C-alpha cells in the first residue's frame, strides 16, 4: 500500500522542462548598475536640457518677445474692460468689444485727420534735427573740442548698433507694422478668455505647484494692469500737454512733438531723455526764446509725470528703482533690440513679483518648521 502511494506521488510530479526553454537574464552592456552613475547621468541630463532650453530661447527670442508684448497688450485691454465694468454693468464680452472698437476708432482718427499733418512734420523733422546737430558740432569744433563729421547715415548706424541686432526685422517699416498687428491680434485673443490660457499652463505643472502658480499669475496680472494703466496715463498727459504747450508758445511741429513725447513716455528714463532732446533741438531751430520755452515745457511736463503720476502708480504696483529699470533697459536693448527696450520695464516688474512670491513662500515654510519644532 505504501509502495502504491509512493508510485502515485512520483507519477503526479510535472516532467522537467527541456534545457533549451530555460532563459537566464543577464545584464547587457548598456545596463547601469551603479546608483552613483545613474545620479550623475540624471544631473547631466538636467543641465543639458537647461542648456538646450536656453539655446532655443536665444534662437526664438523675437517670437517670444512678440508673445510677451501680446500679453502686455492683453493686460491693457483687460484693464480697460475691468475699468469700464465699474460704470457699465454689462457682460465682459461686450465691454471688451467697446474697448477694442474705441482703440480702432482712435487709430483711424489719428490716421485720417492727423496723419497727413504728422507725415509732413515728420518729413521736416529730420532736416531740422540734423541742422541743429551740425550747428552743435560746428560750435564744438570752434572751441577746440574736436572735429565732428556727422551725417544721417552715421547717426542711424550708431543708433542701430546700440539697440541690438537680434530683433532687426522689427526695425523695418513693414516688419514693425506686421509685428504691431500680430501683437494687437494676440492681445485680443488672450483678453477674450485669459483664464483659458492660465489653466492650460497650470495643467503642465505638477498638482502641488498649481496653487502657487495661480497666486503668482494673479499678482502678475494685477501688477501688469496697474503698471500699464499708469504708463498710458503718463503717455496721455505728456503727449497732450506737450502738444498744447508747443502750440501756445509757437514751437514748430507741435503735433509731431506731442505724438513722439507721448509714445516715448512708454519707455521710462530713456524715452524722456530722447523726447526732451528732440523738443529742445526743434525749439532752438525757431529762435533762442522758443528754445528756452521748449526747455521750460520739457521740465514742467516731466515734473508733473515724475512727481504726480509715477508715485501714484508706484503705490499700487511694484516700486521699481530708476537705476534698476535703466540698467535693464540698457541690457535688454543691447541684447534684444528695440522690442527689448520697450518691454524692459514690464519684464523687470514680472520678475520682481515672482521673486517676492518665492520669498514669501520660503518665509512661510521657515515659520511652519519653527512652529513644528519642539
* Domain residue limits at 95: 37-155+162-362
Residue 252 near residue 279 (C-beta atoms within 8 A): no
Identify the pLDDT of residue 28.
Answer: 54
Q: What is the chain's alpha carbon radius of gyration, rounded to the nearest angstrom?
A: 32
CA 135, chain centre distance (Å): 38
> What is the Cα–Cα distance from 349 to 320, expressed in whole angstroms?
7
Identify the pLDDT of residue 136.
Answer: 74
Give the mean pLDDT of 178-203: 87
Q: Is 6 part of a structural domain of the chain?
A: no
Which letter does DSSP use for residue 16 in this model? P
Q: Is 369 part of a structural domain of the chain?
A: no
Q: Is 186 part of a structural domain of the chain?
A: yes
User: Which is higher by pLDDT, 145 or 74?
Assistant: 74
Identify the pLDDT of residue 373.
Answer: 61
Q: Is 267 part of a structural domain of the chain?
A: yes
Which letter does DSSP use for residue 21 in this model? G
> What is the Cα–Cα distance from 177 to 73, expressed in whole angstroms?
15
Non-local (6+) Cβ contacts of 215 within 8 A are 357
pLDDT over 70, % of the chain:
72
3-state DSSP helix/strand/coil percent for the chain, to nearest 5? 80, 0, 20
Q: Is 16 part of a structural domain of the chain?
A: no
Residue 265 near residue 235 (C-beta atoms within 8 A): yes
Q: How many domains does the chain have?
A: 1
**Ramachandran quadrant class, 250 (left: phi over 0; alpha: psi -120 to 50; beta: rest):** left
Q: What is the pLDDT of residues 151-180, one digit of tens each?
A: 555 555 555 454 444 444 444 556 667 888
**Mean per-residue pLDDT of the chain:** 77
pLDDT band at 98 (very low <50, low <70, confident <90, very high): very high
The closest of 231, 182, 236 to 71, measured between CA atoms, is 182
Among the ranges given (13-22, 269-278, 296-305), the one the predictor scored with the smallest mean pLDDT? 13-22
Give the mean pLDDT of 14-19: 53
Question: Is the model's pLDDT at 263 over the cut of 80?
Answer: yes
User: Which is higher by pLDDT, 369 or 43?
Assistant: 43
Q: Is 14 part of a structural domain of the chain?
A: no
Identify the pLDDT of residue 2.
Answer: 45
Identify the pLDDT of residue 314.
Answer: 61
- Cell (9 digits) for 98: 467697446
**Ramachandran quadrant class, 36 (left: phi over 0; alpha: psi -120 to 50; beta: rest):** alpha
Q: What is the pLDDT of residues 50-89, one digit of tens each?
A: 888 888 877 888 888 889 999 999 999 998 899 888 888 8
Q: What is the pLDDT of residues 318-334, one digit of tens each?
A: 667 778 888 888 888 88
The crossing angle, in degrees rounded to 10, of helices 338-372 and 322-336 is 130
Identify the pLDDT of residue 4.
Answer: 46
> What is the Cα–Cα distance from 226 to 83, expressed in whole angstroms?
11
Q: What is the pLDDT of residues 295-326, one digit of tens each?
A: 898 888 888 777 677 666 666 666 677 788 88
Q: Is 184 part of a structural domain of the chain?
A: yes
> What is the Cα–Cα distance from 310 to 296, expressed in whole angstroms?
20
Non-local (6+) Cβ contacts of 221 within 8 A are 75, 78, 194
Identify the pLDDT of residue 322.
Answer: 76
Among the ranges given (157-171, 203-217, 351-365), the one the predictor scored with the smallest mean pLDDT? 157-171
Identify the pLDDT of residue 369.
Answer: 64
Residue 317 has a CB neighbour count (10 Å cut-off) of 19
Q: Is 345 part of a structural domain of the chain?
A: yes
Identify the pLDDT of residue 39.
Answer: 81
* pTM (2 d.p.): 0.71
Give the mean pLDDT of 16-38: 59
> What is the Cα–Cα distance from 242 to 226, expressed in whole angstroms?
24
Taking the CA of residue 334 as centre, how many other CA atoms within 13 Å lie in the half-sphere pointing to its CB?
Answer: 5
DSSP string, 211-262: HHHHHHHHHHHHHHHHHHHHHHHHHHHHHHHHHHHHHHHT-SSHHHHHHHHH
Amino acid at each position: 500500500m505504501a509502495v502504491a502511494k509512493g508510485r502515485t506521488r512520483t507519477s503526479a510530479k510535472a516532467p522537467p522542462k527541456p534545457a533549451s526553454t530555460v532563459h537566464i537574464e543577464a545584464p547587457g552592456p548598456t545596463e547601469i548598475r551603479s546608483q552613483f552613475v545613474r545620479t550623475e547621468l540624471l544631473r547631466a541630463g538636467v543641465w543639458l536640457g537647461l542648456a538646450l532650453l536656453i539655446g532655443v530661447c536665444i534662437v526664438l527670442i523675437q517670437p517670444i518677445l512678440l508673445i510677451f508684448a501680446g500679453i502686455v497688450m492683453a493686460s491693457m485691454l483687460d484693464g480697460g474692460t475691468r475699468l469700464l465694468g465699474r460704470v457699465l454693468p454689462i457682460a465682459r464680452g461686450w465691454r471688451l468689444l467697446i474697448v477694442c472698437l474705441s482703440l480702432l476708432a482712435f487709430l483711424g482718427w489719428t490716421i485720417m485727420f492727423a496723419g497727413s499733418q504728422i507725415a509732413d512734420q515728420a518729413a521736416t523733422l529730420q532736416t531740422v534735427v540734423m541742422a541743429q546737430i551740425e550747428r552743435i558740432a560746428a560750435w564744438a569744433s570752434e572751441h577746440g573740442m574736436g572735429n565732428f563729421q556727422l551725417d544721417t547715415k552715421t547717426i542711424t548706424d550708431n543708433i542701430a548698433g546700440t539697440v541690438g541686432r537680434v530683433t532687426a526685422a522689427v526695425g523695418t517699416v513693414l516688419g514693425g507694422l506686421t509685428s504691431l498687428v500680430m501683437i494687437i491680434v494676440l492681445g485680443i485673443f488672450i483678453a477674450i478668455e485669459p483664464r483659458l490660457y492660465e489653466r492650460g499652463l497650470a495643467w503642465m505643472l505638477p498638482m502641488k505647484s498649481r496653487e502657487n502658480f495661480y497666486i503668482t499669475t494673479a499678482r502678475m496680472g494685477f501688477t501688469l494692469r496697474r503698471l500699464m494703466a499708469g504708463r498710458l496715463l503718463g503717455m496721455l498727459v505728456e503727449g497732450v500737454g506737450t502738444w498744447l504747450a508747443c502750440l501756445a508758445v509757437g514751437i514748430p511741429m507741435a503735433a509731431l512733438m506731442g505724438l513722439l513725447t507721448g509714445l516715448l513716455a512708454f519707455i521710462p528714463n530713456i524715452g524722456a531723455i530722447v523726447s526732451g532732446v528732440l523738443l529742445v533741438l526743434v525749439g532752438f531751430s525757431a529762435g533762442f526764446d522758443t528754445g528756452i520755452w521748449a526747455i521750460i515745457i520739457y521740465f514742467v511736463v516731466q515734473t508733473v509725470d515724475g512727481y504726480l503720476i509715477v508715485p501714484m502708480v508706484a503705490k499700487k504696483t511694484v516700486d521699481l528703482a530708476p537705476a534698476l529699470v535703466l540698467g535693464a533697459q540698457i541690457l535688454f536693448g543691447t541684447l534684444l533690440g528695440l522690442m527689448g527696450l520697450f518691454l524692459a520695464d514690464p519684464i523687470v516688474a514680472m520678475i520682481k513679483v515672482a521673486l517676492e512670491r518665492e520669498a514669501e513662500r520660503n518665509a512661510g515654510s521657515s515659520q511652519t518648521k519653527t512652529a513644528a519644532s519642539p
